[in-house]
Homo-oligomer: A and B are copies of this chain.
Amino acid sequence: MDLLRFLKPKSFAIVGASEKEGFGGGTCRNNLTYSKDLDRVYFVNPSRSEVFGRACYKSLLDVPGQLDAVVIATPKATVLEIMRQAKTKGAAGVVVYAAGYGEVCTPEAEADELELKNLALELDLAIMGPNCAGFINYVDGKFLYSILHPERDRKGKVGFVSQSGQILMSLLDSPNMTFSYCFSCGNAKVVSPEEYLSFLVDDEDTAVAAMYLEGTGNPALLEDCFHRAALKRKPVVALKVGKSERAMAIARSHTGSLTGSDAIFDALFKKYGVIRVSDMQELLSVSLALAEIRCLPQGDRVAIICLSGGETAICADEGHKIGIKFPDFEKATVEKLRKLLPFYAAPDRNPLDITATPAYQPEVLSQTLQAVLNDPNVDMVLLGFTLMEEIVDNAFYVMFEGIAMALELTEKPFACLNFIEMTRNAGLTKRFADYGVPMLPCTKYAFEVLRHILDFAVFDYGRKRRMVIGEPIEAMGPVKPAKSGMAGPGKTSESIEPSGPREPVAFMPPTGTRVTLSELESKALLAEYGIQVGQGVLAKSVKEAVAAAQTIGYPVVLKIESAEIAHKSDVGGVKLNLANDREVEKAFAEIMDSVAQNAPKAAHNGV
């Protein structure tokens, strides 16, 4: 399967091209609005000879030349035949918008999905979807995507994979988000979300790989992506739901994903320095900030400068709340600041209130920023003010001038933070971004983003960083990364290895006790959870176990769920190949008895 050619198509066709509202019409309009190579985008519709004034072919087979990809915007019943035609035209993959497959949970729909999948494998054809919104490749300007959004330039360096079409839509609707690629995976039964992530990790045009995930069907590839990203120091940002029971249940009925043990995901994220976020705005803001910032801080000591005492005090409190280190300035810095600032300012304080005066004096602002940026105690500097959408005060332009001057003479990372939502002049935000200055969002988000940037900056995979404070680091050789599911455009992961020992996974079971597993044990556990993550359900009673088994379908495996039992089969905690309700009932009772006898002190959560 040539995923690379599918995601970077030179030419593609839209079957179901239309002027009407809907998936076909939306895809056509997106291409008419944004495409810079419209000549290699072909419209196909058996009942139209023109769409939006452009030639429209009756059949995919009539399109001249070879195609790399095909968008299928027609009803479900037509999909298989169009896939065959796409193969005939040389396509590497197809986007299938049609819904009514696995997501509707009926035997017929699931059979249809299996038929779709089998045909794709037979034809060696990648499928995005079914039940998806498609993808946009901003790097090459390709729009195999169906939804309309307010028109603006969104080209950037953040790649995003989403298991939810709605979440991708919301990110595209954000007034300042930019992307290299974005993928709405849909049911993702042929190409998995992990394979798109793998593409983004390898892709040289993608500075930050972000994803919304509800679970994983391929934990080995997921871990391999994280591993390769950590080696390249490419930030991976993950919005993973399922911290709460209710969210787990929702995810289960949404994409059929089993969210698995959230603690295992968390341990995996921590091990590889993956940035875990908890909502869309946080994902968007931290991804954009990491893609824009001119360099990473060399440490986690921060200075914040504001133009008013009140805002400075808010920053001090909010920073304190999430453990930001505000170092004192060096004496020489304080002396420089004392000369620059009004006499009633207090130049020995960090966060620093420089008063509003320097906002009207670019030279003074520039020198003030330089003094703080050059302080050896400081790794990163932020300036706090609220950039308005409609600018009625010239001070913002003056400030931009002062900041730009300071940045040209210094090297440390710098960002601006805002105090009010729904502001931000687009022109000035862009000019700041061009200087490598992210315009961070409203206070609570800004400090979360700052925390993530600092954590990522000091995370040193395979060398110094320890997952559990106080745990010893065992010297260990590098492990061979799992094979990626696809060939990526970048360096292969085998060519790079961590330069020092890798650490044990720290696993925090739900009971709150903390255990540290060896590398091999953690691998074994992950493999075990890999299955559970993909197909397992936690059952606390025999009744729940039977219900779960019926849902999953027989035969099933029962395993004790306990972080305190490393070798489950040693204590009689595993029963394989259970064929029916009665066997599950029996196995449940046996496991409970056996565990109670062989591991009487181990806390467990069920099977």
**How far apart are A309's CB and chain B's nearest CB, in angstroms?**
3
Q: Kindly identify which residue among B166, B343, B392 contacts A311, using a CB–CB cutoff of 8 Å.
A: B166
Contact B316 A420 (CB under 8 A): no
Contact B278 A317 (CB under 8 A): yes
Tally of chain A residues near chain B (CB < 8 A)? 82
The answer, yes or no, to whether A138 is at the interface (CB within 8 Å) is no
Contact B150 A390 (CB under 8 A): yes
Given A241-B313, A243-B317, also A175-B423 (CB < 8 A): yes
Q: Kindly identify which residue among B174, B250, B321 contacts A243, using a CB–CB cutoff of 8 Å.
A: B321
The answer, yes or no, to whether A582 is at the interface (CB within 8 Å) is no
Which residues of A (205-246) have their CB < 8 Å from a CB of B? 212, 214, 239, 241-244, 246
**Contact partners of A393 in chain B: CB under 8 A:** 148
**How far apart are A319's CB and chain B's nearest CB, in angstroms?**
8
Q: Kindly identify which residue among B148, B284, B444 contacts A444, using a CB–CB cutoff of 8 Å.
A: B444
Given A253-B353, A421-B422, also A104-B320 (CB < 8 A): no
Which residues of A (432-448) have their CB < 8 Å from a CB of B? 441-445, 448
Given A242-B313, A247-B313, A388-B150, also A279-B419 (CB < 8 A): yes
**This chain: copies in complex:** 2
* Max chain B C-beta neighbours (<10 A), residue from A165, A170, A175: A170
The answer, yes or no, to whether A251 is at the interface (CB within 8 Å) is yes
* Cα(A392)–Cα(B30), bound, Å: 13
**Contact partners of A250 in chain B: CB under 8 A:** 309, 312-313, 316, 346, 349, 351, 353
Contact B309 A251 (CB under 8 A): yes
**Contact partners of A520 in chain B: CB under 8 A:** none
The answer, yes or no, to whether A2 is at the interface (CB within 8 Å) is no
The answer, yes or no, to whether A38 is at the interface (CB within 8 Å) is no
**How far apart are A248's CB and chain B's nearest CB, in angstroms?**
8
**Contact partners of A174 in chain B: CB under 8 A:** 420-423
Contact B247 A317 (CB under 8 A): yes
**How far apart are A515's CB and chain B's nearest CB, in angstroms?**
24
Given A253-B346, A424-B422, also A244-B167 (CB < 8 A): no
* Cα(A351)–Cα(B423), bound, Å: 30
**Contact partners of A103 in chain B: CB under 8 A:** 344
**Contact partners of A326 in chain B: CB under 8 A:** 246
* Cα(A442)–Cα(B163), bound, Å: 21
**Contact partners of A567 in chain B: CB under 8 A:** none
The answer, yes or no, to whether A198 is at the interface (CB within 8 Å) is no
Contact A349 B148 (CB under 8 A): no
The answer, yes or no, to whether A307 is at the interface (CB within 8 Å) is yes
Contact B308 A165 (CB under 8 A): yes
* Cα(A246)–Cα(B346), bound, Å: 12
* Cα(A492)–Cα(B311), bound, Å: 35
Contact A241 B421 (CB under 8 A): no
**Contact partners of A422 in chain B: CB under 8 A:** 174-176, 421-424, 441
**Contact partners of A104 in chain B: CB under 8 A:** 343-344
* Max chain B C-beta neighbours (<10 A), residue from A166, A167, A246, A310: A310
Which residues of A (150-189) have their CB < 8 Å from a CB of B? 150, 162-167, 170-171, 173-176
**Contact partners of A246 in chain B: CB under 8 A:** 316, 320, 326, 349-351
Q: Kindly identify which residue among B175, B242, B318, B388 contacts A279, using a CB–CB cutoff of 8 Å.
A: B318
* Max chain B C-beta neighbours (<10 A), residue from A311, A351, A386, A421: A421
The answer, yes or no, to whether A105 is at the interface (CB within 8 Å) is yes
**Contact partners of A423 in chain B: CB under 8 A:** 173-175, 422
Q: Kindly identify which residue among B176, B356, B424, B445 contacts A166, using a CB–CB cutoff of 8 Å.
A: B356
**How far apart are A166's CB and chain B's nearest CB, in angstroms?**
3
A150's closest neighbor in chain B, by CB?
Answer: B390
**Contact partners of A280 in chain B: CB under 8 A:** 314, 419-420, 443
**Contact partners of A390 in chain B: CB under 8 A:** 150
The answer, yes or no, to whether A249 is at the interface (CB within 8 Å) is yes
The answer, yes or no, to whether A20 is at the interface (CB within 8 Å) is no
* Cα(A144)–Cα(B554), bound, Å: 76
Q: Kindly identify which residue among B105, B247, B320, B421 contacts A445, using a CB–CB cutoff of 8 Å.
A: B421
Contacts A/B (CB < 8 Å), 12 sampled? A164-B309, A174-B421, A244-B317, A244-B321, A246-B316, A246-B326, A250-B346, A250-B353, A253-B346, A254-B313, A278-B443, A279-B442
18 further A-B contacts with Cβ under 8 Å, apart from A241-B314, A242-B317, are A164-B311, A166-B311, A167-B310, A174-B421, A175-B389, A214-B309, A246-B316, A250-B349, A250-B351, A250-B353, A253-B349, A254-B313, A279-B314, A279-B443, A281-B419, A284-B420, A285-B421, A422-B423
Kindly list the 3 A-B residue pairs having the minimum CB-CB distance in the complex, ordered from nearest. A254-B309, A164-B310, A166-B308
